[in-house]
Amino acid sequence: MKYLIVLCCFLHVFLQPAHAALEIESHREADLYTELAGAKLNKMIPILVELETLKGEQILPLFTLLMAGNLYYVKADKALVGKANEQGATSYKSVFTQEERPELGKKDVKKVRVNNKLRSHLRTAIARIQLTSTSPVVREKAVRTLLAKLDPKTIVLLADRYAIEPHREVKNAIKLALALYTATQTQQSISDRVMAIETLSTSLENQVRNTLVQLTQDTHQPIALAAQKSLTQIEQRAQRFALVDKLFFGLSLGSVLLLASIGLAITFGVMGVINMAHGEMIMLGAYTTYVVQLMMPNYIDYSLIVAIPAAFVVSGLMGILVERLVICRLHGRPLETLLATFGISLILQQLVRTVFSPLNRQVSTPSWMSGSWEINPVLSLTLNRLYILAFSLAIFFLLVMILKKTSLGLNVRAVAQNRAMAKVMGVKTHRVDALTFGLGSGIAGIAGVALSQLTNVGPNLGQAYIIDSFMVVVFGGVGNLLGTLVAAFSLGIGTKFLEPITGAVLASIIVLVFIILFIQKRPKGLFPQKGRAAE
Amino acid sequence: MKIKNLVSSIAFASALTSTMFIATPSIAADTIKVGVLHSLSGTMAISETTLKDTVLMMVAEQNKKGGLLGKELEAVVVDPASNWPLFAEKGRELLTKEKVDVIFGSWTSVSRKSVLPVLEELNGLMFYPVQYEGEESSKNVFYTGAAPNQQAIPAVDYLINELDVERFVLAGTDYVYPRTTNKILEAYLKAKGVASADIMINYTPFGHSDWQSIVADVKKFGSQGKKTAVVSTINGDANVPFYKELGNQGISAEDIPVVAFSVGEEELSGLDTSPLVGHLAAWNYFQSVETDENDAFIDTWHAYTKDSERVTNDPMEATYIGFNMWVNAVKKAGTTDVDAVEQAMIGQTTTNLTGGTAVMNKNHHLSKPVLIGEIQADGQFEIVWETEGVVAGDAWSDFLPGSKDLISDWTAPIKCGNYNTKTAKCSGQNY
Amino acid sequence: MKGIIHFVRGYGFSQGHEAGKYTFPFVLLLLAVSVFAAAANTFLPVDSALYVSTYTITLLGKYLCYAMLALAVDIIWGYCGILSLGHGAFFALGGYGMGMYLMRQIGDRGVYGHPVLPDFMVFLDWQTLPWFWQGMDHFGFAMLMALFVPGLLAFVFGWLAFRSRVTGVYLSIMTQALTYALLLSFFRNEMGFGGNNGLTDFKEILGFDLQADSTRVSLFLITALLLVVLLLVSQRILSSQFGKVIVAIRDAEPRARFLGYRTERYKVWLFVYSAVIAGIAGALYVPQVGIINPSEFSPINSIEIVIWVAVGGRGTLIGAILGALLVNYAKTRFTAILPDAWLFALGALFVLVTLYLPQGLIGLVSQIKHKWQQVRRKEVGA
């Protein structure tokens, strides 16, 4: 702890902020606002610096607006206003008083320009101000942001804060920042620096690692050694997390494959229809999501909850329609279903092109699915993939339940195993066929909702997944849902572990060749059907 | 019986051939035909349909102005369906069957390479409106998109000079445009003193949709103390999942900016841009440019498509410039004859949409300004930097060992697309 | 003359298929159309009403290559029940063989003027020609490779698959995986086949200028002739003892096996034969179309081939050829007439053919004939 106190005193002497000298000149302030309104991008940083010195914490609303690109100025008098978007309606409010300016329209205002350089400046400025925030979470985040730019001025702020900080987590973060600073200061004593370096060994922050890498080259032997030791500790931990990360990537890819193929596992696996239009059922689901979002633009957060049943209905009905019109006439000719469904897939693609234009459509991500769950600085799991992973498993178990526990499921299995016998026993096979195909297509539609969160929503969406889905179903064993699950996840994880070694292209080639060879070894996939149903 | 068979076969054969293949549509002599060779189905339809609409709009506008040489313009649209050999076939159809006077078409390099021999054989004329890898200059093609020196090099200069970037990730789709661009950039960066260890090159297949590991690698590469940027030549469909992954893994533009050469307004209109704010793109045109010409162009476009939300983009401006130049060249030559128009094209100037003048150079490439824009939350670009004047398109890169001695000059006395300044020879073909 | 006719007809009847007896008139028609088109292009003046443009000749040449490919698929699907969704791979490999030969013929006339290396290698900074490009400048060797490589691949794949009794949809999906894997590999620039751009900008074949009308017409005629030869040879093979076993395998493989036939050997050799035909088609396709690139490997292409066969009528060799010609002609017409909506028409065609013409167009002919005979019989009876 000693080095912290020394450091604080040391800095205070040299960098005493001139509180006394500050005298708020409101004229100057108004001038600066006007200047900001029309300033060129490369002239803006000095204005922002001056504003920060002048107004201190009070400048926060302006900075936040500018950071988010929501700061505008009125063309007539160059007054600054903030744009607010509530329930789809745009309104303008004055920056500091939050007073609404209803007279302003889109044409009366102009955006205050901002670029990466400014945003990066603003981010540290905001973090400095937020050090005194009432929320400990915000404070901790602010400290972590400041790690990237530890200049003497910031250190003073941090050191001051450290003395009065009540929250333990935040205090630890500040301690880390101060240690990081101390470790690099050559005017500090070697023992202080070594101590600081040892403190650093518990952190996984990038800045810490980068600093330590530099310190291993330090001319003072003890410092270099200490840095090396801390670094090794950090690397070991980081490597473990990297493995977890890779596993998650694999699981996530697996969940996408599972979603894409699970509907096919029903239409192809259970019914034996080589359904080339399966991809287009996924596409219809994705477009349904788009339409749902169009209809409820102000409730994007809830749109997916509406889209899931909607997509199930749209794709499911389309599936039943296709089954009734085409596939039911092709019983006993499985290979010919390939041709008919291929034709259907062409028609559906062109239909979407005609109705929605050939361009990709924009599907927004609900706020609760954006961003990532940061476990620590080296391991963060993206939320959308996490949800999709959970969702794919939920769908899978739901489907297993439907097939195992409901009368529909019983009928489906009966018809799949022995159509003639099922018919004799009074199962309405036509009805069951239509419902099965509808179920498979509906599930594909639900998959489309999930995939719309990861990839393009365009006419080619289905094409991108059709081959993969067939691979998964065949690899797992036709007619076996569990096989599909295992196949999807093992292919996903396999690909992700190969990718860093071979590159993305070679990884997919290797996986394909592996599947080909595997099928030679086990011609009916991972989990072959047994008994009479197999032939 | 057998003789009857034979005779009827032959009779049927001649009937078949004459009805099926010889039925050439009667050509009204008083129109000038403009061929449109853009994919309307298949994977490239996403990008190319817009250009088809642009050409149709330009044709309609020109007809409103009274046509050309006193004749109506007539657009002939065919669909090469994103199928590369079909580009050659459809190109031949346009030139021999429809007898078009000019073709506007192609997007991908391979489609251009496919139709090129046909253009040269039949002496057709094509305008190619997309940024591409260079390394080509045909007598029969005018390249109105950007060459690498009109997009990639200024963008990297911007990264180095304005954003103090020291490490570069060159990420691209595995085909010729990214390969060439990255080769050029690698040579350029090394010439600027960037170490090999600070350059990471990564290629992915077309339509790559799972970017988790690559984005994680980029994140790791960028977290080692030096300011890092990604130079992206990722093509079309793969961009949406790429940017989504970037946003979700929390890589903001302030940390690791991505500068893209294939992402424009249209690509952005297919995704939610709020997590992408601040990422960059380098083009010769942005919809957000504030000039009277651009406003007029956007208004016409909205009126033509009856959709006030439809965006404009750089290849559209390239089509616009190409079309206007062709109109002027035809007026100057007084004919649509390809050889005359080709010579009249060189030195042709027309106002571009960014407030300057585009010039067609002797190498069939344009001089255009280079702009760098940052993505905004509304899917438009904020222009943050532009070149002082215009940059002349360079057909043969100075940074590739094979082509640094080559130049292209279609005026006398050289009249060649790949003139070697060292050996003073043209390689044995047209381009 | 009579002998030849007899020879030809012999195949038709011994097949035992309804369609077999159309072989002779069909071959005649095909040759007549080809010769007529070639002659019209060469001898008639351009403004003549019967003139056939070079555009049409190249188009017809392309159709004939596709027809040959359809023939290859029909041999294994129609007669042996092996549905290959990857036949495009063999076609493309044959095409690459020819493409490599044509590429080497460019010599120092490439853009960079390198005496040996093709342009894309100069551009990738390669110093020497990779081993698999050696010798490809000899026409004979290159053509041998164009047949050998698809054949070898078919042998290895077939030997593995048929021996372990991979059948039905599993086999179809595996062939799809095969062509998809090849698609991805050929995309890679490191493979040394020009990456996504493939091989293009060919100059001449055996010293003949590829852009000359006479070369195009000759290539077209060679394609037509080879198609006829392959049709007759295939007809012969399928009506031989070997062919009988093949059909037996299609109808009941276990039974054929229990009768003592090593069914997997029959299947492998038929598969290899089919792949070689596909390779020939590919080799003929490339000089006429002027480009070969990885998109030929795309699984969708292979599915399309199967559709040509289905439209024409599987299990009848003529049907496959007719199907390929008709679907491709329809495609050409539709894309020109309805550029925005041709996929609707094509999609609807596939659906309708599968539903209402399970035997394809050839089947339609016999259906009509059957009806006609019934009507006549009734009339006679009355």
ipTM of the complex, rounded to two decimals: 0.87
Residues A156 and A261 grouped into a single domain: no
Q: From residue A324, give the alpha-carbon distance in Å to each of A316, A327, A408.
A: 12, 7, 18
The span from the CA of B18 to the CA of C259, in Å, is 53
Asked if residue B325 belongs to a domain, the reply is: no
Residues in chain C within 8 Å Cβ distance of A338: 83, 172, 303, 306
Domains: count for chain A: 2
- DSSP label at B193? T
Residues in contact with A493: Cβ distance below 8 Å, sequence separation at least 6, in sequence order: A247, A250, A251, A253, A254
Residue A209 lies in a domain: no
Note whether A291 contacts B: Cβ–Cβ < 8 A. no
Q: Which of C327, C317, C330 has its CA nearest to residue C15?
A: C317
Report the C-alpha gap between A46 and A52 in whole angstroms: 10
Distance CA A15, CA A157 (A): 11
Cβ–Cβ under 8 Å, residues B77 and B100? no
Are the beta carbons of B384 and B373 closer than 8 angstroms? yes
pLDDT digits (tens, 9 = 90+) for C123-175: 888 888 999 999 899 999 999 999 999 999 999 999 999 998 888 888 888 99
Task: Quote the radius of gyration of chain C (alpha carbons, Å).
Answer: 22
Most B-contacting residue of C1, C31, C51, C197 (CB-CB within 10 A), to test interface: C197
Residues 90 to 109 of B: which have CB under 8 A from any C CB? 90, 92-93, 96-97, 109
| Whole-angstrom distance, CA of residue A301 vs CA of residue A306 | 10
Contacts of B60 (CB under 8 A, 6+ apart): B304
Cα separation, A100 vs C198, in Å, equals 62
Q: CA-to-CA distance for A439 and A495, rounded, in angstroms?
A: 30
User: Is B245 contained in some domain?
Assistant: yes
Q: Which two tokens stand for residue A275?
A: 């359904």
Q: Which residue has the tokens 């424009």?
A: B264
Q: What parts of chain B have a pLDDT lower than 70?
A: 1-29, 428-431
The one-letter amino acid code at A287 reads Y
What three-state secondary structure class fits A61?
helix
Q: Which residue numbers in chain C have pLDDT < 70?
A: 1-20, 380-382
Local structure of B175: helix, strand or coil: coil
For residues C310 and C202, the answer to whether their CB atoms sit within 8 Å is: no
pLDDT score recorded for residue A22: 46
Contact check, Cβ <8 Å, A500/B224: no
Nearest CA in chain B to A492: B210
- Tens-binned pLDDT, residue by residue, of chain A (535 aa): 445 555 544 445 444 444 444 455 677 888 888 888 878 877 888 888 888 888 878 888 888 888 888 888 888 888 888 888 766 677 888 888 878 888 887 778 888 888 888 888 888 888 888 888 888 888 888 888 888 778 888 888 888 888 888 888 888 888 888 888 888 887 888 888 888 888 888 888 888 888 888 888 888 888 888 888 888 988 898 889 989 999 999 999 999 999 999 999 988 878 888 889 999 999 999 999 999 999 988 888 899 999 999 999 999 999 999 999 999 888 777 777 888 899 999 999 999 988 988 888 888 888 888 888 888 878 888 898 999 999 999 999 999 999 999 998 999 888 888 888 888 988 898 899 999 999 999 999 999 999 999 888 888 888 889 989 999 999 998 888 899 999 999 999 999 999 888 888 889 899 999 999 999 888 888 888 765 444 4
Q: Which chains touch C (3 or more CB pairs under 8 A)?
A: A, B
* Nearest CA-CA distance, residue C364 and chain A, Å: 17
Q: What are phi and psi of A56, to 5 degrees?
A: 60, -135
**Furthest CA-CA distance within chain B:** 89
Given this model, what pLDDT does residue C345 score? 86
User: Whole-angstrom Cα distance, residue B30 to residue A159?
Assistant: 84
Residues 6+ apart with CB under 8 A from A255: A385, A388, A389, A391, A392, A393, A488, A489, A492
* Helix or strand holding residue B36 (H, E): strand B31-37
Question: Nearest chain A Cα to B310, which residue?
Answer: A359
| pLDDT at A277 (0 to 100) | 93
| DSSP type of residue B173 | E
Instruction: Determine the Cα angle at A156 with ends A155 and A161, to 5°.
Output: 95
Residues A278, A280, A282: CA angle, nearest 5 degrees: 80
Give how far Cα C206 sits from Cα of A241, C91, C143, C202, Å.
62, 21, 12, 12
Using CA atoms, how far apart are residues B283 and B269, in angstroms rounded to an integer? 17
Instruction: For residue B104, give every residue at least 6 positions away whose Cβ sits within 8 Å of its Cβ, in sequence order, or none.
Output: B34, B35, B36, B37, B38, B51, B55, B126, B127, B129, B319, B322, B323
Q: What does the block give as tokens for A419?
A: 């159509």
- Domain containing A25 equals 2-69+112-200
Residue B8: partners with Cβ closer than 8 Å, 6 or more residues away? none
Q: What is the pLDDT of residue A134?
A: 84
Output the domain CATH number for residue B171.
Answer: 3.40.50.2300
- Tens of pLDDT along B294-330? 999 999 999 999 988 899 999 999 999 999 999 999 9
- Rounded CA gap, C143 and B281, in Å? 47
Shortest CA distance from B16: residue in chain C: C33
What single letter denotes the amino acid at residue B42?
Answer: G
Backbone dihedral angles phi then psi of residue B334, each to the nearest 5 degrees:
75, 10
Q: Which two tokens stand for residue B62?
A: 């020109």
Residue of B nearest to A378 (CA): B220
Nearest to A519 among C174, C306, C346 (CB): C174
Question: Quick one: how far is CA C335 from the chain centroid?
Answer: 22
Q: Among candidates B274, B277, B279, B215, which has minimal Cα distance to B241?
A: B215
Q: Which parts of A232-348 are beta strand (E)? A: none
Looking at residue B122, its pLDDT comes to: 92
Q: Contact B20/C40, CB-based, under 8 Å?
A: no
pLDDT given for residue C78 in this prediction: 92
Long-range contacts formed by B184-191: CB under 8 A, 24+ apart: B184/B148, B184/B152, B184/B153, B184/B397, B184/B399, B184/B400, B185/B152, B185/B153, B185/B156, B185/B231, B187/B399, B187/B400, B188/B153, B188/B156, B188/B399, B189/B156, B191/B399
Q: Provide the sign of the torsion angle of the four alpha carbons A91, A95, A97, A103, taken in this order.
A: negative
CB contact at 8 A, A234 and A204: yes
Cβ within 8 Å of residue B48, ≥6 positions away: B38, B39, B40, B107
- Taking the C-alpha atoms of residue C57 and residue C344, their distance in angstroms, rounded to an integer, is 28
Distances (CA, A) of C119 to A27, A83, B223, C85: 68, 56, 39, 33
Question: Is A210 domain-assigned?
Answer: no
> Does residue A230 form part of some domain?
no
Q: Which chain B residue has the Cα nearest residue A257? A: B210
Residues 4-33 of C with CB under 8 A from B: 5, 24-25, 28-29, 32-33
Could you give the CA distance from residue A2 to residue A398 in angstroms, rounded to a whole number? Answer: 61
A231, part of any domain: no
**A40, A106, A115: best to mutate for the B interface, most B CBs within 10 A:** A115
SS3 content of chain B, % helix, strand, coil (to 5): 40, 20, 40
Would you say how long chain A is, in residues?
A: 535
Instruction: Give Dmax (Cα) for chain C.
Output: 85
Instruction: Assess C50–B contact: CB distance below 8 Å, yes or no.
Output: yes
Which residue in chain B has the smallest CA separation from C294? B84
**What pLDDT sits at residue C3?**
43
In chain C, which among 103-132 make CB contacts under 8 A with chain B?
108-114, 120, 122-125
The Cβ of residue A47 has, within 10 Å, a number of other Cβ atoms equal to 15
Among B49, B51, B174, B209, the residue to mutate for chain A (most A Cβ within 10 A): B209
Residues 202-221 of C with CB under 8 A from B: 202-203, 211
Angstrom distance (rounded) from CA B413 to CA C90: 48
How many domains, in total, are found in chain B? 1
Contacts of A131-134 spanning 24+ positions with Cβ under 8 A: A131/A157, A131/A158, A131/A161, A132/A57, A132/A161
Domain that holds residue B215: 152-260
Sign for the pseudo-dihedral over CA of A116, A121, A123, A126: negative
* In a domain? residue B181: yes
Radius of gyration of chain A (CA): 31
